Amino acid sequence: MKIGIFDSGLGGLMIAKHIVRALPAYDFIYLGDTERAPYGNRSPQVVYAFLQEAVEFLFSKDCALVIVACNTASAQALRRIQREYLPRHHPARRVLGVLVPTVEAVVASGAHRVGVLATAGTVATGAFTRELKKAAPAAKVWERAAPLLVPMIELDELAHVDAVLARYLSPLLAKHIDTLILGCTHYPLVARRIRKLVGPNVRVVAQTDLIGGKLFRYLARHPEIERTLSRRGKVALLVTDLTPTFAALARRWFGPGAKPKVVQYY
């Protein structure tokens, strides 16, 4: 069986690159719903429906475990998938998100004043604040929606992204944050620009640096899942719409022979 990785677009591909680097022996299927991206401005009901379709498709492709690399889907729909959908339809399978592991890493770092830059959909749930307060009640948390960033990154229109980033980051920096969470898997693609804007005194937490190690440790704790996984070192890249930017990044990150395949599962 394989490990599935799902995202609405480009950001999850970067997560996939880091997961495959951390666990190169296993077989993976990456699914990007690029045709319907971004998810950040969708309603929770629609995001749940989209996630359910993606999870069912990946299970049909023999995935024992699915990583939801999309923060919007993790915030709006993952808990319901785990508590309602899996017990009823796939009790032996697992679906994990990226939000809680990110919070765990931030809390372990001893952060006290935390800014979160995320999509409008993720910010509307308050999920980062809720999870951070649960784990570290004394922490101060401020979330900021950045609705223009995902479209700019997806379209590779970055000529004016520094000005847009500065506008979004300014209210968070005014709170004297010591840590900034990049709460969307697209944002690590502009992480260098963000680090330059926030300065050396703010720790920038990118999920690309965390999830591979977190998954490695999860499999070590769950041998009943790990021993079902095949080990041929194969990676399949599937998308609902193959954009030039996605194709170029797939070749850059997975080698010149990477050939994403277009699928329709809904």
Per-residue pLDDT band at 9 (split at 50, 70, 90): confident
Dist CA 251 CA 260 (whole Å):
9
Per-residue pLDDT band at 11 (split at 50, 70, 90): confident
From 13, 54, 70, 114, the catalytic residue:
70
Span 100-207 CATH architecture: 3-Layer(aba) Sandwich (3.40)
- Residue 5 and residue 28 in contact, taking contact as beta carbons nearer than 8 Å: yes
Residues 48-62: tens digit of each pLDDT: 999 999 999 999 999
pLDDT at residue 157 in the model = 87
pLDDT at residue 147 in the model = 92
Domain 2-97+209-262 top-level CATH class: alpha beta
From 68, 184, 210, 238, the catalytic residue:
184
| Summary mean pLDDT of the chain | 95
pLDDT at 162 over 90: yes
Residues 6+ apart with CB under 8 A from 11: 69, 70, 150, 153, 184, 185, 186, 187, 188, 189
pLDDT at residue 85 in the model = 97
Which residues are paired to 179 by β-bridges? 114, 203
* Residue ranges, CATH 3.40.50.1860, the chain: 2-97+209-262, 100-207
pLDDT at residue 155 in the model = 84
Helices 211-221, 99-108: inter-axial angle, 10-degree rounding: 100
Dist CA 229 CA 35 (whole Å):
29
Residues 132-147: tens digit of each pLDDT: 999 999 999 999 999 9
Share of the chain above pLDDT 70, in %: 100
Whole-model pTM: value is: 0.90
Catalytic annotation present for 70: yes
Residues 208-255: tens digit of each pLDDT: 999 999 999 999 999 999 999 999 999 999 999 998 889 999 999 999
Which residues are paired to 4 by β-bridges? 29, 66
